Amino acid sequence: MGFADRDYQARQVTRPALPPVTKALLIANVVVFLLDFVFRSERGLLVDGIAMTGPFEQYGAFNVSQAFLHGQLWRLVTFQFLHFSLGHIFFNMIGVYVFAPWVERWWGSKSFAAYYLLCGAAGAVFFSLLMSIGLLPNANSVQSNLVGASAGVFGLLFAVYRIAPGARVALLIPPVTLTMRQLALVFAGLAMLTILGGLIFPNASWFANSGGEAGHLGGALMGLLLMRFPGVLGKGTAVREKVIRPRQFRHRRAGKIRPRTEVDLHSESEVDRILEKVSSEGIGSLTEEERAILQEASQRPR
């Protein structure tokens, strides 16, 4: 039997199918963008003194005036499916495609849908809060529009950071590899820097999107809050690693004997991620660290 005939050589590596809510989000965003683009007016529409470039934006974009002062609260959700440009939707959908499957598999589809939309809505609320206290001079009007999936995407980013902080992500621009913890901190830092820069230099083009970055931070903060208290959305256990004493010390009284070691067990979500990798890519794709995690999990006391 030749090498090419062996089972492990012939086996094909396939990417797992997208979970249902992730797929629905991608389709919905693209369809809404295309429809809005087709009927978009270059001159725009003027509705209640607010400039609108398309019919979907007219009824779906978020701004404080229409959402809160006129009671159109649906805009907290609908603005998340609207985008200004091709580049705007492209990068947001890349974020959904990369991060959403991880988060949906951890939450489950129903809870994930609520998680994503709540993070997006929190972005609009945080934007409104910072604007109301004067921290967004570039978006200082209750008629300033907010559109885009970015707040929800930031919620996804910070969820993956909580699920697997050590997972590595290779960026194209710049061409560097970062852990999820580092990536989350970089994006949060850039958002805060943009808001601060917009406050100090309100006329500088570099900081023109301080309102959008406020939305990003709002989505990230909501994401961290929900991941810290997942029971809010019906998830049983938080994403935290447990420290469990070895079995021989569990029933001893405190003070009589002190354990020499503690076992730091990885979260169930990390084990699930590794098992999924084995299923899709084979056992040979695991790193030494991942093999060690599986070994620890297999020896876990029941």
CATH number of residue 47's parent domain: 1.20.1540.10
Q: Are 224 and 269 found together in one domain?
A: no
Find, among 250, 229, 249, 241, the residue nearest to 268 by Cα.
241
Handedness of CA 17, 22, 23, 26 (dihedral sign): negative
Instruction: For residue range 191-234, list pLDDT tens digits in order.
Output: 999 999 988 888 888 888 899 999 999 999 999 999 999 999 98
Q: Are 66 and 190 found together in one domain?
A: yes
Q: From start to end of the chain, where are the E strands?
A: 45-47, 50-52, 168-170, 177-179, 243-244, 263-264
Structure tokens at 11: 């086996």
Quote the DSSP letter at residue 62: B
The Cα-based distances of 178 to 160, 163, 168, 182, 253 in angstroms read 13, 16, 6, 6, 44
Over range 249-267, report the average pLDDT.
Answer: 44
Other CB atoms within 10 Å distance of the CB of residue 165: 15
pLDDT at 245 over 50: no
- Parallel, antiparallel, or unpaired: how do β-strands 50-52 and 45-47 relate? antiparallel
Give the C-alpha separation, 186 to 81, whole Å: 25
Number of H helices, E strands in the chain: 12, 6
Of 103-112, 166-175, 216-225, 239-248, least confident by mean pLDDT is 239-248
Q: Are 194 and 264 found together in one domain?
A: no
- Look at residue 68 and give its three-state secondary structure: helix
Q: Are 189 and 283 found together in one domain?
A: no
Domain end: 183, 213, 233, which one?
A: 233
Q: Is residue 15 situated within a structural domain?
A: no
Give the C-alpha separation, 302 to 298, whole Å: 10
Q: Are 143 and 274 found together in one domain?
A: no
- Dmax (CA) for the chain in angstroms is 79
Residue 57: band (very low, low, confident or very high) from pLDDT cuts 50, 70, 90? confident
Q: Are 167 and 229 found together in one domain?
A: yes
pLDDT at 67 over 80: yes
